[in-house]
Chain A
């Protein structure tokens, strides 16, 4: 966990994590969001990867990066937060259905 805390001490690395929290991006695409050099971004990504905060996947010549919530939260926290957010969504969807068809279920 120390590696994760050290990795997160740098504000730009936190910004990178937020950027790739829900999507997979190539290093170049990540760099385009920041006013720093490409090698600097690569360095940040290496630190994040070594701290198990992001996963790296090769797609041909490209390397794609994505935040790894399991690495950050611990698997159980990740699953717990997954259920919390999804059940909230289920509530919205089911209540919308019930409002549309107030007298019957599906």
Chain B
């Protein structure tokens, strides 16, 4: 969950084998179950990674490396967004077998430097923090 100047890093343990977890990054049926409304995925180097997140955010990128079930790398950006244009940043997902499940590590590099530095996670917490600042 740490935010540094240049990249985002997140880790999570999932009680499912890497093969199952991997499919969520490459299978267009599995993908919308965790992110976005629909996805177009062509999981091979140079293949498209496209995901409609919501009304205003569509992610566009391409796969750089597909190594089931351990590692997948794809470029990532928002359509029509000058700060993070399609293909401008890179997401690397590494899956390691761990205690009968999977340790997932996601590293998102190449992002622009943050306009605001905050350590709060999520919208609501941040809203409250700002509101507290504003009413102090």
Cβ of B131 and Cβ of A8 under 8 Å apart?
yes
Q: Which residues of B contact A (CB under 8 A)?
A: 1, 3, 8, 10, 12-24, 27, 30, 33-35, 53-56, 69, 83-84, 101-102, 104, 106, 108, 111-118, 120-124, 126-127, 130-131, 133-135
User: CB-CB < 8 A to B21: which residues of A?
Assistant: 90, 94
Q: Which residues of A contact B (CB under 8 A)?
A: 1, 4-6, 8-9, 14, 17-18, 21-24, 55, 66, 68-70, 72-77, 79-91, 93-95, 97-98, 101, 104-106
For the complex, what is the distance from the CA of A95 to the CA of B15, rounded to whole Å?
A: 6
Tell me which of B16, B53, B127, B133 has the highest count of chain A C-beta atoms within 10 A of its own C-beta: B16
User: CB-CB < 8 A to B102: which residues of A?
Assistant: 94
For the complex, what is the distance from the CA of A82 to the CA of B53, rounded to whole Å?
A: 10
Cβ of A95 and Cβ of B116 under 8 Å apart?
no
Cβ of B12 and Cβ of A87 under 8 Å apart?
yes
Tell me which of B3, B30, B56, B106 has the highest count of chain A C-beta atoms within 10 A of its own C-beta: B56
Whether A94 touches B130, Cβ cut-off 8 Å, given contacts A9-B135, A75-B112, A76-B111, is no
The minimal Cβ–Cβ distance linking A23 to chain B, given in whole angstroms, is 8
User: CB-CB < 8 A to A104: which residues of B?
Assistant: 19
For the complex, what is the distance from the CA of A82 to the CA of B116, rounded to whole Å?
A: 17
Given A17-B127, A87-B34, 19 more pairs with CB closer than 8 A = A1-B116, A5-B130, A5-B134, A66-B56, A72-B130, A74-B115, A74-B117, A75-B115, A79-B108, A80-B3, A83-B106, A84-B1, A86-B35, A89-B34, A91-B13, A94-B16, A95-B14, A95-B16, A101-B20
Cβ of A80 and Cβ of B8 under 8 Å apart?
yes
Contacting residue for A106 out of B13, B23, B84, B133, CB 8 A: B23
Subset of 7 A-B contacts with CB under 8 Å: A21-B123, A68-B56, A75-B114, A89-B34, A90-B24, A91-B12, A106-B19
For the complex, what is the distance from the CA of A61 to the CA of B108, rounded to whole Å?
A: 40
Tell me which of A21, A24, A55, A95 has the highest count of chain B C-beta atoms within 10 A of its own C-beta: A95
Whether A73 touches B123, Cβ cut-off 8 Å, given contacts A8-B130, A79-B8, A83-B8, is yes
Using CB atoms, name the residue of chain B closest to A105. B19
Cβ of A73 and Cβ of B118 under 8 Å apart?
yes
Using CB atoms, name the residue of chain A closest to B4. A76
